[in-house]
Amino acid sequence: MSSSTPISGGCDDGGGTTSSVTDSPMRDEAVDSSTFQEGERVLAFHGPCLYDAKVQRVESCSGGWRYYVHYPGWKKTWDEWKGVEDMLKHTEVNIQKKEELKAKHSLEKNTKLGRPSLDKIKSSTGVRGRKRKLEIVKKEESFVPSEKHVNLQIPSILKKQLVDDHESITHLGQLVKLPRNPSACEILNKYFDYQVKKDGMIVETVKEIVDGLRCYFDKALPAMLLYKEERQQYKEVIANNVSPSGVYGAEHLLRLFVKLPEMLSCVHIEMETLSELQQRLLEFLRFLQSNQREFFDSNYEKADGIDNAVKDKEN
């Protein structure tokens, strides 16, 4: 892709989801009233979600300070002025708030995802206000609530894999043996090598998809990709900052694709970008399918036989 895709946005800081929060109180409680500087990396509200942003200009006005911000990976048409109440310092605490808001918003399927407040649009007055309103409407026409359009048709053979996986864990009292070989991280790297060699695709484009999937997987796994029967195993094998993508494998990576449409629902996605992103994700599913025998483990273990190899390695 010519620019960063929604799935790659914010991966350096941890994308994906964690837990739920309420959106309005979050803005009031989390606001950091400190002055931001030009060139500073920040988090900015756009609609109900927080996005990575960079301060381009700082101006003092009668109401205080205002900041012109750019959203890395997005077109400059999305650059906008923000007040201090709409911005947060780029700290670990606020990055966590960003992920919590993303998780909350992705689960609210009946809301208008990621769209500006209609009250803000209606409050515009005069010629300048009407012009601004038209600009917002035109801009929003090229974006869509992704949950209505992201459609990942999982191949039937992989659907059966999901059903068998569910049966083994929830009904037979078995668990996937960990650590997996290959791990999710290794599978993503194999896909990267495969695509670059196969199509001669631009390395950066493939890297965005791979890094984005790895980022989403690491954040989503403890929040929404585990059955309750697997949580104790997770506590035992994920220690000392071990990334889930280095321990879990294709079984859990496939579960991510069931959740992806929901997880992407709070991201602004242009129709053109959405179409290309969907195509790349479907290509990855076909890659999993063609390597099913190599990637998926048919031998599960009883819940009381958890492999502690990861812990031993870290110790």
- Could you please state the CATH topology (level 3) that the domain comprising 1-110 is classified under: SH3 type barrels. (2.30.30)
Angle of helix 203-220 versus helix 271-290 axis, rounded to 10: 80
CA gap 282, 288 in Å, rounded: 10
Q: Which residue has the higher pLDDT, 143 or 194?
A: 194
CA gap 251, 37 in Å, rounded: 45
Q: Which residue has the higher pLDDT, 55 or 31?
A: 55
At residue 276 the predicted structure's pLDDT band, cuts being 50, 70 and 90, is confident
What mean pLDDT, rounded, does the chain reach?
Answer: 75
User: What's the pLDDT at 84?
Assistant: 85
Of the candidates 300, 315, 305, 99, the one whose C-alpha atom is nearest the C-alpha of residue 218 is 99
At residue 1 the predicted structure's pLDDT band, cuts being 50, 70 and 90, is very low
At residue 20 the predicted structure's pLDDT band, cuts being 50, 70 and 90, is very low
User: What's the pLDDT at 147?
Assistant: 41
At residue 229 the predicted structure's pLDDT band, cuts being 50, 70 and 90, is very high
Contact between residue 89 and residue 97 where contact means Cβ atoms under 8 Å apart: no
Please state the rounded mean pLDDT for residues 50-57.
92
CATH number for the domain formed by residue range(s) 147-314: 1.10.274.30
- 158 Cβ contact partners less than 8 Å away, ≥ 6 residues apart: 254, 285, 288, 289, 292
Contact between residue 270 and residue 142 where contact means Cβ atoms under 8 Å apart: yes
pLDDT digits (tens, 9 = 90+) for 152-187: 889 999 999 999 999 999 999 999 999 999 999 999
Report the predicted TM-score, pTM, of the whole model to 2 decimal places.
0.55
User: What's the pLDDT at 6?
Assistant: 54
- Checking if the pLDDT of 212 tops 70, the result is yes
